[in-house]
Amino acid sequence: MDILSVLNPEQRRAAETVEGPLLVLAGPGSGKTRVITHRIAQLVRNLGVSPYNVLAVTFTNRAAREMKDRLAALIPGQLDPLTIGTFHAVCARILRREGPAVGIDSHFVIFDDTDQQTLVKKVLRDLELDEKRYAPRALLSHISKAKSELIGPLQYGEHVSSYWEEIVLRVYRAYQEQLALHKALDFDDLIMSTVNLFRQQPDVLLRYQTRYHYLLVDEFQDTNIAQYALLRQIAGKYRNLCVVGDEDQSVYSWRQADLRNILNFEYDYPDAKVIVLEQNYRSTKNILSAARGVIAANALRKEKHLWTANDTGPLINVVETYNERDEARFVVDEVQRLTRRGRCQISDCAVMYRTNAQSRALEEAFIRSQLPYRLVGATRFYERKEVKDSLALLRFAFNPADNTSVLRIISFAGHGIGAKTVQHLETLGTSLGLPMFAVMLLVKHGPEAVPDFLPDLAAPRLPQAFRLPFTSRTEQLLSDFCALLERVLESARHHDVPELLDYAVRESGLREQILDGSEEGEGRWENVQELAAVAADHTGIESQIGLEALLESVTLSSEPDNYREEKNAATLITLHAAKGLEFKAVFIAGVEEGLCPHSRSTDDPKQMEEERRLFYVGMTRAQERLYLVYAFRRNLYGGSQPGLPSRFLADIPQALIASNRALAGENKPAAPATARPAAAPRPVAQAAAAGVVYQPGDRVRHASFGEGIVVSSKVTGADVEVSVAFPSVGVKRLSLAFAKLERL
């Protein structure tokens, strides 16, 4: 039987072209995994190549498993000698065997993200550098970037041009020394060390070049400089390097993926053959045409003419809802409508979004409707560390006797308070019948101060000859931390919940810890901003009443019994995590300026192109139905702001979008949401807070400080910081993520 008979003409060409360099440009849904596996089967089964001489690399264990499963059916009994795995797995295997030649112990351990952060924190202590000033995540991000470009500490030192880079260099050197001391490598080291091994040991490289006659690479657009250098080394003898990818789906530059690898492949290999897979097997004609309209606006791409033999399918639903709650309600109602009418199963539906913070409103809507869902690639909103840390501050303000919240606040704001001190606090509190905060008050002020802050407690009666079991230094640390908690309680007496949250996350240093200069930190801060949007519902309400309502709402929304982990459940997932998946019905939520595309990309043309590719990836996950949903107003940055439809919507041909008339039938969304053809985007407001840009001289009103005049306004990541001069209290710096200003 001809094993290639199931392939279309272009797929077959790719499978049969086995000699020399080959670039396969595979559009979404064009069967690239089928091509790779059938090409391996062609080599082994039809051409008699030993599986021992074939190397196939990809990026995820899931993709490697899928490749192995398919090959088991195509070349049964011949998988064992074949090398299939991720870049990191393949390199780890090589280094365990060959590493001792360059001083790498064969029993090395691999440090994960947590291990790396712990090590960098130790390095900062050893170098007497302030962890709050030089965030470990930001330092690791710069070190990772250097390693992905094959820049070791020595080479990094040759290009230092700023004080920050000097700090990175010092940490980089010490970090590598500590890794060596632990006989450890991080994930970036696995690649860089293998490249360096081959450079330093030509005989070792020759052995691997001689073994691997044929190399196949999946998702080539996601490779970084180090990975591409590794591939070129191994393929150096026979030059049978087949790379499969799609520059239109390159969305991982923040992981150091370098789009130039796929765009410049033909320059590196002038004799390379190029085959384009343009037939899409996944989506309807309408979905594919809409996606083509969006991606065509990018400049950094190779032209493809994607087509499909599938049905035309329903029009694209571009849906405007009033706010994020209405958006979530529309999605849930539409999922229920589709399943009731037998259009699909619940598990056939996916809701995608640009930022993890957007999942909060969607999760709550699914829970309220008792509709099963599964959150992929993220922790549920109210279980995320930065959200739980912020809530601990509010829980303490509501109930100062809550030891659990105090312990959590110590973990991120109790600098210098160690486990032994905490144990003493708990033991002393148990013996005296006092909560931990009362013990701290006892340390700081003496017994008489306890009832002032905890009126339900009388001043403790201390045993005769009672002595606190703390050193003077520890007493000072506890006094300082107690003062922080006192300030939080004082703020709760005078401010509503949004203002209290704003004050507490700043005063505790939590905001500074989260915004550590990394993109991950920006994402975590967006989650705190989303919590601020929830808090904004309690604006102007007396603090204790507002706190009670908010905390009860959070508890009910995060109740584990309300979440059912079922196979037949809708998928909630970020656009980044959705790559490689497919669903009958896809909802992309938050298709607005500032979200999709993200505000961080507004001033960078290359980043804006990546945002467009990310949106394209989301669109092409849909098989039959595609909903692009945006809100007229959205609770962002602590208040309700006008939304701007994403500029990407204007690139979809109008004929493909459901008109109001078309919505009367199959495409009609559930009330109260309305749908309309995509309009040309309105002008993009400066910064993340669309429509809330303040200029010097603007008159504003603050709930606590009264009227004032704007002195300055600047964008800080996804937030906007406004300095306002108030006659009563002077100049205040306010975050629009929390402070609700009214323009006068």
Active site members: 32-33, 218-219, 249, 621
699 DSSP β-pair partners: 709
- Answer whether the bond into residue 669 is a cis peptide, omega within 30°: no
Token pair of 500 as six digits? 């209290």
β-bridge pairing 184-186 and 109-111: parallel
Identity of the amino acid at 652: I
β-bridge pairing 317-321 and 184-186: unpaired
Of 519, 696, 721, nearest to 604 by C-alpha is 519
Given a contact cutoff of 8 angstroms between Cβ atoms, the answer to whether 632 and 492 are in contact is: no
- Taking residue 611's Cβ as centre, other Cβ atoms within 10 Å add up to 24
Of 271, 280, 215, 195, nearest to 246 by C-alpha is 280
Identity of the amino acid at 171: V
Given a contact cutoff of 8 angstroms between Cβ atoms, the answer to whether 565 and 604 are in contact is: no
Interhelix angle 285-295/605-619, rounded to 10 degrees, is 180
Given a contact cutoff of 8 angstroms between Cβ atoms, the answer to whether 611 and 248 are in contact is: no
Of 69, 19, 65, 66, nearest to 42 by C-alpha is 19
Of 135, 137, 131, 94, nearest to 113 by C-alpha is 137
Q: How far apart are CA 46 and CA 41, in angstroms?
A: 7
82: left (phi over 0), alpha (psi -120 to 50) or beta: beta
CB within 8 A of 729, min separation 6: which ones?
705
β-bridge pairing 54-58 and 83-86: parallel
DSSP category for residue 20: S
